[in-house]
Amino acid sequence: MMKPQSEAELAEVVAGANGPLRIVGGGTRDVGRPVEGEELSTSGLSGVTLYEPGALTLVVRAGTPLGEVEAVLAGEGQRLAFEPMDHRGLLGTSGEPTIGGAVAANVSGPRRVQAGACRDFLLGVRFVDGAGRVVANGGRVMKNVTGYDLVKLMAGSWGSLGVLSELSFKVLAIPQAEATLVGRGLDPEAGVKALSVALGSPFDVSGAAHLCGGAARTQVRIEGLEASVAYRRDRLKELLPGFEAVEGADSAALWAEVRDVAPFAGQAGAVWKVSVRPSDAPGMCKALAEGGLAHQAILDWGGGLVWLLVPETGDGGAAAVRGQVAALGGHATLVRGSAALRNTVPVFQPEVPALAALSRGLRAKFDPRGILNPGLTG
Amino acid sequence: MQMPEPNTAILARKDRVVARLRDVLPGGAVISDPAETRAYECDALTAYRCAPMVAVLPGSTAEVSAVLKICHEEGVPVVPRGAGTSLAGGSLPTADCVVLGVSRMTQVLETNYADRYIRLQTGRTNLSVSGAVAEADFFYAPDPSSQLACAISGNIAMNSGGAHCLKYGVTTNNLMGVTLVLMDGTVVEIGGAHLDAGGLDLLGVICGSEGQLGVVTEATLRILRKPEGARPVLIGFDASETAGHCVSDIIRSGILPVAIEFMDRPCIEACEAFAHAGYPMCEALLIVEVEGSEAEIADQLDRIIAIARTHDPVALREAGDADEAARIWLGRKSAFGAMGQINDYMCLDGTIPVSSLPEVLRRIGELSEEYGLGVANVFHAGDGNMHPLILYNANTPGQLELCEALGAEILKLCVEVGGCLTGEHGVGVEKRDLMLHQYRPVDLEAQMAVKDVFDPEWLLNPAKVFPLTSSEARRMAAE
Ligand SMILES: Cc1cc2nc3c(=O)[nH]c(=O)nc-3n(C[C@H](O)[C@H](O)[C@H](O)COP(=O)(O)OP(=O)(O)OC[C@H]3O[C@@H](n4cnc5c(N)ncnc54)[C@H](O)[C@@H]3O)c2cc1C
Ligand SMILES: Cc1cc2nc3c(=O)[nH]c(=O)nc-3n(C[C@H](O)[C@H](O)[C@H](O)COP(=O)(O)OP(=O)(O)OC[C@H]3O[C@@H](n4cnc5c(N)ncnc54)[C@H](O)[C@@H]3O)c2cc1C
């Protein structure tokens, strides 16, 4: 295992590598096609380099544990608004998730639907590309259109374009209050309809999820100043007959469960993450069931993000799920599955040829020797 | 401004190129008469002009694809154009190019309120997108001041933002998908009505790429439900630095206004003389706008006013009703026009960390004295996007050059304090040669590598974004 202690050392290590590298932050996930390669740990690149609460900006080294980042921010009443998931439960892994891993996977939680994704809060990156060059893009200000936006490109690139060394973020204040309206026993269609009503209201909803199944639960979150939350809670109650309000820590617990896909954590099976048009989600689940794929579903992002738990037999539901996505548009990722399964079905959504050619072209430019997490993304 | 010499071999092929373009486009969509191509000789940065060889106005993605295919085969550079309101020379033609304007492509293709998106052709103007969904009380959030005129295509290419992006983000945060035509005519769909990319975030790179990676013909945009109401408060201070501190304190407090606008004395005076908005005469003004129900607005404004009071404001005016709110915004909204009435000016666009605001304002004041040119400041303070206006006299020989030199100093200052050269107008030709102040050659190399992949022959929107010396070898190789 290699564990550089500085960006310069990281650059040397990558430049001097003579074979594939498996990049590891906290190693809390084991997703993507399993990578054969020497382990390159980013955990030596740790610590906050700059934090200006009054400018809402944080600059941090990529190997910094997410927990540490969150603690530093909480000390000033702030947070990462994109609500990154802790997926140790779901994947049964241990270790400390890093901020670099969250960015490399563009990890965005339930607030995605209102606040945006991890990539939307990422203001700047420094990374070492596959040739060992240190590259900077973006900066630490919220508006920046100086040249091409490689910041977005790096978010969600799964370490296939470069090893992130330093990241800057826009952070936001932790709101004074939060509340969640909870409806019970709705079918997915009615659930998503309720979520759409809430998201189509002027009440600034910051989370909208539906957990399917026997104890179906539909939940809508609002956050902000106390008086404002109380007002919007009451208005939303009028829009969502039968929904009950849950406040404070109880509300937060409901969202941690959705964020971490907790209902699937202890259960066996493969887990898919599917992104579709919200109103298509119930129909998709129905079609999957009718097509013979037994599953459990959690619909986040107003229905736009569908987590599916399916039996890990055969292709782990790949043909059925991808067939649906082909018909509806969107994409599906196999987030949990045995190494054998992940070696046989594409983990990430296969791209159409013209897009695949562009992605291949970019990877060839940034990692000419093909040594960064080779094969991971399919 | 140095632009590459027109390629005489291309100019010699003009007749053939025009004939081929006429084969694939309806009559009237190919403009080749030099008297008519003049209409496309510049964008809103009118200091630089050059009529293109040909201009085309296709009406569909298929026609755009056909045009690009021909230009690709003929080796003709293409300059994509929306409404031509770029302030950075982003759509400045070269004499040997085809300007590809999307102004005829204005259809709304789909509106979906349940899933909160709209799909349209990109020639549509920014303001008319909100107009198209207003009946359902929805709106499209990014609101550049040019929104009445500028097209979504230009917004995507420049990643435009406006006064309200403190809360709602800029174009890239509200763009879900595009139909992109590559230089060789290949049509690709990137993203769509669902959130986030499946593979690499190509959409994120297209947004802000200044028309150099492909032509965007259709877009899927997020639309949002209008808030119940919005109201501004106007706060005056006797020093710009104090206003800067107040901005930081408001942001720190956890309130997220939708806009925080800043004006300094020269700007206040000019706006007042022009718009008669009843502004107090002081060193600096903030306009802070919040949204929500009446009660929520009142609560937030109370908090903001309490913070402002700790900075001894010399004026404080809360809008009681829609009329008063409109008057508070009136002066700000007419700022650019007002300045234009009293002086020639150059509008800069740099971004700084909000915490450096007091220091940057002080140093701009010093530079202004040193150069002997007045500088008025009006900007989006909440996100540190500054628009210093340098006042000069265009008729006095040497003043334009002096003005450019001061502009460059101010932008370098922005970079020095941790900011950047442009927050919303883009690099274009205007800031091309300053890029090496913000980025090292290796950083630009990485950006140019992206261009190599999307447009290997470097035919799209030539000589923009990168210093000519940096891109020279690539452009030569491609010829
Ligand atoms: C397919 C998938 C989908 C997910 N979706 C979501 C989601 O929607 N919402 C959510 O909240 N969470 C999601 N997660 C969880 C998320 O991946 C983890 O929270 C995060 O990756 C944990 O960080 P880590 O340091 O443990 O990562 P690791 O397990 O160490 O690494 C994660 C990935 O990033 C790469 N990587 C790590 N550090 C760097 C670096 N510095 N530079 C370059 N590459 C690096 C690794 O090679 C690896 O591919 C998802 C995970 C997977 C696998
Ligand atoms: C008075 C005034 C106020 C302004 N205020 C703001 C402001 O508040 N915020 C802000 O961000 N900007 C502002 N601008 C700048 C300008 O309006 C924006 O940059 C706008 O997005 C440009 O849009 P356009 O359609 O006019 O583009 P153009 O000027 O036509 O083109 C701009 C760039 O987009 C490219 N392009 C155009 N169409 C396409 C396409 N179909 N595919 C690919 N590339 C394409 C061009 O090649 C060029 O690089 C202002 C300009 C003016 C004149």
Q: Does B119 touch chain A (CB under 8 A)?
A: no
Q: Cα(A183)–Cα(A255) distance, rounded to whole angstroms? A: 14
- Tell me: pLDDT of A186 over 70: yes
What does the pLDDT average to over A201-227? 95
Residue nearest to atom 52 of ligand 2 (CA): B146
Pseudo-torsion of CA B41, B44, B46, B51, nearest 10°? 0
Instruction: Report CA dihedral (B377, B381, B386, B391) to the nearest 10 degrees.
Output: -10
B195 and A304 within 8 Å at the Cβ level: the answer is yes
Please indicate whether residue A191, judged by its CB atom, sits closer than 6 Å to ligand 1.
no
Ligand 2 cavity residues, CB under 6 Å: B 43-44, 79-87, 90-91, 102, 122, 144-146, 150-151, 153-155, 157-158, 160-162, 210-211, 215-216, 336, 424-426, 461
Q: What is the spatial distance between Cα A144 and Cα B435, in angstroms, rounded to a whole number?
A: 13
* Closest alpha carbon to A49 in A111, A160, A129, A136: A136
Helix, strand and coil content of chain A, in percent to the nearest 5, comes to 35, 25, 40
Give pLDDT, residue A267. 95
pLDDT in tens, B76-103: 999 999 999 999 999 999 999 999 999 9
| pLDDT exceeds cutoff 80 at A31 | no
Q: Which of B170, B300, B453 sits opposite A362 (nearest CB)?
A: B453
Ligand 2 centroid distance, CA of B127 (Å): 13
Q: Are B105 and B121 in contact (CB under 8 A)?
A: yes
The proportion of chain A whose per-residue pLDDT surpasses 70, expressed as a percent, equals: 99
Are A52 and B443 inside 8 Å of each other by CB?
no
pLDDT above 90 (res A230): yes
Instruction: Look at residue A378 and tell me whether its pLDDT is greater than 80.
Output: no
The residue count of chain B comes to 479
**Element (DSSP H or E) covering residue A167:** strand A162-170
Whether B285 and B268 have beta carbons less than 8 Å apart is answered as yes
Atom of ligand 1 nearest to the CA of A159: 44
Atom of ligand 1 nearest to the CA of A373: 47
> Measured on CA atoms in the order A152, A54, B233, B334, is the torsion positive or negative?
negative
- DSSP state letter for B455: -
Mean pLDDT of A132-138: 98
Is residue B204 scored above 70 in pLDDT?
yes
Alpha-carbon distances, residue B465 vs A77, A204, B211, B454, B462 (angstroms): 39, 37, 10, 15, 9
**pLDDT tens digits, B362-409:** 899 999 999 999 999 988 888 899 999 999 988 899 998 999 999 999
In sequence order, which residues have a C-beta less than 8 Å from that of residue A238 and are 6 or more positions away?
A: none
Rg (C-alpha) for chain B, rounded Å, is 23
- Tell me the C-alpha to C-alpha distance, in Å, between residue B147 and each of A217, B328, B332, B384: 42, 20, 15, 21
Contact B200 A55 (CB under 8 A): no
Burial class (CB in 10 A: 0-12, 13-18, 19+), B321: exposed
CB atoms within 10 A of CB A134: 19
Of A62, A36, A223, nearest to A127 (Cα)? A62
Write out pLDDT tens, residues B303-342. 999 999 999 999 999 988 888 999 999 888 888 777 777 7
Comparing C-alpha atoms, which of B29, B38, B95, B92 is closest to residue B64? B29
Sorting pLDDT into bands at 50, 70 and 90, what band is B301? very high
User: Given an 8 Å threshold on Cβ–Cβ distance, is A173 in contact with B256?
Assistant: yes
Assigned token pair, A374: 């080779």
Residues of A in contact with B249 (CB under 8 A): 54
B297: left (phi over 0), alpha (psi -120 to 50) or beta: alpha
Ligand 1 mean position to A290 CA, how many Å? 33
Which among A10, A14, A23, A29 is the best mutation to test ligand 1's pocket, defined by most ligand atoms within 8 Å of the CB? A29
- What Å distances lie between residue A367 and A159, A330, B99, CA to CA? 10, 27, 35
Largest CA distance in chain B: 71
Q: Which pLDDT band holds residue B477 (cuts at 50, 70, 90)?
A: confident
| Spatial separation of the C-alpha atoms in residues B130 and B222, rounded to whole Å | 11
Q: Which residues of A26-65 are buried (b: 16+ CB within 10 A; e: fewer)?
A: bbbbebbbebebeebbbbebbeeeebbbbbbbbbbbbbbb
Q: Is A316 in the pocket of ligand 1 (CB under 6 A)?
A: no
Helix (H, G, I), strand (E, B) or coil at B168: helix
The nearest alpha carbon in chain B to A57 belongs to B353
To test the contact with chain B by mutation, choose from A58, A148, A166 the residue with the greatest count of B C-beta atoms within 10 A, namely A148
Report the pLDDT averaged over residues B136-140: 97
Kindly give the distance from the C-alpha atom of residue A122 to the centroid of ligand 1, in angstroms, as a whole number. Answer: 15
- Which residues of chain A lie closer than 8 angstroms to B311, CB-CB? none
**Rounded CA gap, B372 and A293, in Å?**
75
Q: Is the CB of A26 under 6 A from ligand 1?
A: yes
Cβ contacts of B43 within 8 Å, gap of 6 or more: B81, B84, B85, B86, B87, B89, B90, B91, B92
> Alpha helix (H) ranges present in B25-170?
34-37, 61-74, 126-133, 152-158, 165-168
Q: Is A163 a pocket residue for ligand 1 (Cβ < 6 Å)?
A: yes
pLDDT of residue B182: 98
A98-111 tens-digit pLDDT: 999 999 999 899 99
Note the pLDDT tens digit of each residue in A307-343: 999 999 999 999 999 999 999 999 999 999 999 999 9
- pLDDT tens-digit series, residues A236-283: 999 999 999 999 999 999 999 999 999 999 899 999 999 999 999 999
Tell me the H-state helices in B253-378.
265-275, 294-309, 322-333, 335-342, 357-371
A108 lines ligand 1 (CB under 6 A): yes
Chains A, B: CB pairs < 8 Å: 265
CB atoms within 10 A of CB B16: 11
- CA end-to-end span of chain A, whole Å? 24
**A52, A103, A129, A143, best to mutate vs chain B, most B CBs in 10 Å:** A143
Other CB atoms within 10 Å distance of the CB of residue B399 = 17
Q: Give pLDDT, residue A29.
A: 65
Task: Give the closest residue (by CA) to ligand 1 atom 5.
Answer: A107
**Atom 2, ligand 1: residue with shortest CA distance:** A335
Confirm or reject: Cβ of A101 under 6 Å from ligand 1. Answer: yes
B352 vs A: CB within 8 A:
yes
Residue (of B209, B220, B219, B218) closest to B455 by Cα position: B209
Q: Of A199, A329, A366, which has the smallest distance from its Cβ to B192's Cβ?
A: A329
Q: B102-106 long-range CB contacts below 8 Å, 24 or more apart?
A: B102/B57, B102/B58, B102/B64, B102/B151, B102/B153, B102/B215, B102/B217, B103/B57, B103/B151, B104/B29, B104/B57, B104/B58, B104/B59, B105/B58, B105/B59, B105/B60, B105/B217
Question: What value does the mean pLDDT take over residues B438-455?
Answer: 98
ipTM, two decimals? 0.96
Distance CA A171, CA A81 (A): 6
B144: chain A residues, CB-CB within 8 Å: none
The label of the residue with tokens 């010399």 reads: B314
* Whether A145 and B192 lie within 8 Å, measured CB to CB: no
What is the dihedral angle through the alpha carbons of B469, B472, B473, B477, rounded to the nearest 10 degrees?
180
Question: Using CB atoms, which residue from B422, B438, B443 is nearest to A135?
Answer: B443
Give A176-221 as a DSSP string.
SEEEEEEEES--HHHHHHHHHHHHTSSS---EEEEE-STT-EEEEE
Dihedral sign (CA A363, A366, A369, A371): negative
Q: Report chain B residues whose CB lies below 8 A from the CB of A112.
A: 195-196
Q: How far is CA B370 from the centre of its chain?
A: 29
Please, which pLDDT band fits residue B256 given cuts at 50, 70 and 90? confident
Question: Is B169 in CB contact (< 8 Å) with chain A?
Answer: yes
Report pLDDT for A213.
Answer: 86
Residue B353 is nearest to which of A52, A172, A175, comparing CB atoms? A52
Within 10 A of B398 (CB to CB), how many other CB atoms are there? 9
Question: Of the given ranges (A284-293, B49-58, B293-302, B353-362), which has the lowest mean pLDDT?
Answer: B353-362
| CB within 8 Å of chain A, chain B residues 132-161 | 137-138, 158-159, 161
Q: Ligand 2 centre from B151 Cα, in Å?
A: 7
Which numbered atom of ligand 2 lies nearest the CA of A145? 11
